[in-house]
């Protein structure tokens, strides 16, 4: 006959301890990944700021280039026509790049077993 040891814990107590250990493990994992994400963001912050400033300067340069092209062409033709020509050429370039981007994205999203046209 088996004797009951008073130091043995019941199944309910063991299960409750298991749940608590699982919760503490989950909290520790969450805290670890939150700390890791904050550390990586702090490392990348200056790079992100520099990238945004570079993008703004790039857009400002493009605006200056377009205005310069309009002024340069205004010596050859009326300013209205020069503006229409430059805006039309820029619009055509934007349209071409947008179609190219759409086709590349659609090709990337197409299932692999589908045949290429």
**Do the domain assignments include residue 29?**
yes
Report the pLDDT value the prediction gives residue 40, as an integer from 0 to 100.
Answer: 87
Q: What angle do CA 61, 63, 66 make, to 5 degrees?
A: 110
Q: Which domain does 49 fall in, by range? A: 10-57
Q: Do 14 and 44 belong together in one domain?
A: yes
| Alpha-carbon distances of 74 from 35, 60, 71, 77, 97, rounded to whole Å | 58, 21, 5, 5, 27
How many independent structural domains does the chain possess? 2
Report the pLDDT value the prediction gives residue 115, as an integer from 0 to 100.
Answer: 62
Q: Do 14 and 53 belong together in one domain?
A: yes
**Do the domain assignments include residue 48?**
yes
Report the pLDDT value the prediction gives residue 4, as an integer from 0 to 100.
Answer: 61
Q: Report mean pLDDT in 10-residue bins for the chain, 117 residues.
A: 62 86 91 90 86 93 93 92 92 92 88 66
Q: d(Cα 96, Cα 88) in Å, to the nearest integer?
A: 12
**Do the domain assignments include residue 36?**
yes
Q: d(Cα 38, Cα 51) in Å, to the nearest integer?
A: 19
Report the pLDDT value the prediction gives residue 117, as an integer from 0 to 100.
Answer: 56
Those residues whose C-beta lies under 8 Å from the C-beta of residue 79, and which sit 6 or more positions away, are: 70
Query: Which of these, 99, 70, 67, lies nearest to 84 by C-alpha position?
Result: 70
């Amino acid at each position: 006959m088996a004797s009951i040891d008073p130091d043995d814990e019941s199944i309910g107590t063991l299960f409750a301890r298991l749940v608590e250990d699982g919760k503490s493990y989950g909290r520790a994992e969450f805290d670890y990944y939150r700390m890791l994400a904050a550390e990586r963001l702090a490392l990348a912050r200056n790079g992100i700021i520099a990238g945004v400033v570079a993008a703004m300067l790039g857009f400002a340069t493009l605006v200056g280039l377009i205005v310069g092209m309009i002024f340069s062409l205004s010596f050859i033709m009326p300013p209205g026509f020069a503006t229409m020509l430059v805006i039309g050429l820029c619009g055509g370039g934007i349209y071409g790049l947008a179609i190219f981007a759409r086709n590349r994205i659609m090709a990337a999203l197409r299932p692999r077993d589908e045949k290429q046209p």
